[in-house]
Amino acid sequence: MLSKLIGTVFFIGYFPFAPGTAGSLLCCILLYFVPEINPMYKIIILLFIFIMGVKVSSDLKKEWGNDPSRVVIDEICGMYCTLIFIPKSIKFYLVGFLIFRFFDIIKPFPVRRSEKLKDGWGIMTDDLVAGIYSAILVWVVVEIFRR
């Protein structure tokens, strides 16, 4: 039961339409309202989400099959990775959300390849890589708007 609670991020994964998008949106909203913390803590939180996600995704994959849509902790991880160093701004968060969802759906190299990793590693790694791509692109957008 705990794996389902964590893997579905308090049952957001049961959302009837686009649960991955719902999970990503939830992450954006939470990050926007959570106070700023030390960047090192942000990295520790990202690693914690990733490692915990690998564990619960592995457990849930056995019950629900390969990359079940109800598991949204991977989207939380990827979205968090996208936004953790982005200035808090609705426009930047919206850009980050759209870019992350694009990369998560399109899965450019090596995102698609990382899905093939064993168990929860594949479920989590593809979204983390999509989050890294997204973070880089959003930083470019942020720098363009700062000028």
Q: Is 66 exposed, middle or buried (0-12, 13-18, 19+ CB in 10 A)?
A: exposed
Task: Enter the pTM of the model.
Answer: 0.91
Q: What pLDDT is stored for residue 65 in this prediction?
A: 74
For the chain, what are the domain ranges?
A: 2-8+36-146
Q: What pLDDT is stored for residue 46 in this prediction?
A: 97
Q: What is the mean pLDDT of each run of 10 residues along the chain (147 residues)?
A: 90 90 94 94 97 94 81 96 94 96 89 81 93 95 85
